[in-house]
């Protein structure tokens, strides 16, 4: 991510940051759809899945912020 942001800034081409966005979003959407996060069965499963979702959410929020788009904490 940092390398893409740097290159987008160097080339003055913010669209570069979004080159892989559809694929990444589709992967995260599939995982979130197929793997129950809240109330997941098994000891520690919910915490582990939340730990995986957190960086994805932070990356999305950071990326949108770079483009001047707000991202709500809750929907």
Distance CA 19, CA 73 (A): 25
Q: What is the DSSP letter of 58?
A: H
Longest dimension (CA), the chain: 48
Find out whether 16 and 7 touch, Cβ atoms under 8 Å.
Answer: yes
Model confidence over 9-56: pLDDT tens digits? 898 887 777 776 777 778 888 888 888 888 888 888 889 888 988 888
Describe the crossing of helices 21-34 and 45-66 by its angle, rounded to 10 degrees.
150
pTM of the model: 0.63
Q: Domain ranges in the chain? A: 21-69
CB atoms within 10 A of CB 8: 18
């Amino acid at each position: 991510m940092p390398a893409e942001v740097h290159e987008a800034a160097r080339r003055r081409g913010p669209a570069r940051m979004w080159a892989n966005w559809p694929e990444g979003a589709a992967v995260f959407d599939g995982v979130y759809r197929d793997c129950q996060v809240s109330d997941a069965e098994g000891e520690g499963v919910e915490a582990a899945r939340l730990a995986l979702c957190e960086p994805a959410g932070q990356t999305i929020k950071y990326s949108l912020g770079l483009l001047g788009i707000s991202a709500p904490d809750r929907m």
